[in-house]
Amino acid sequence: MCQHQPPCPTADSADRESARLVAHHPEQGWSLLCNGVVLFEDTGEILPDGRVIAPHRFTTAV
């Protein structure tokens, strides 16, 4: 359970990526957020319930 104030967003929230880092492994390309989300450097995610969120990189129009 998150002890941060204000509390981190839940893994089901649209802003789940704004939760605080609890483990950061840039050499391996991933971070663990306070809400249990594993965030990858390519912007993909694994949620605590095992669901996979595909990378969602923004592209710019040329």
CA–centroid distance for 46 within its chain: 8
> What does the pLDDT read at residue 44?
96
- Bridge partners of 30, per DSSP, are 25, 40
pTM across the whole model: 0.85
28-62 per-position pLDDT tens digit? 999 999 999 999 999 999 999 999 999 987 766 66
Cα 27 to chain centroid distance, Å, stands at 17
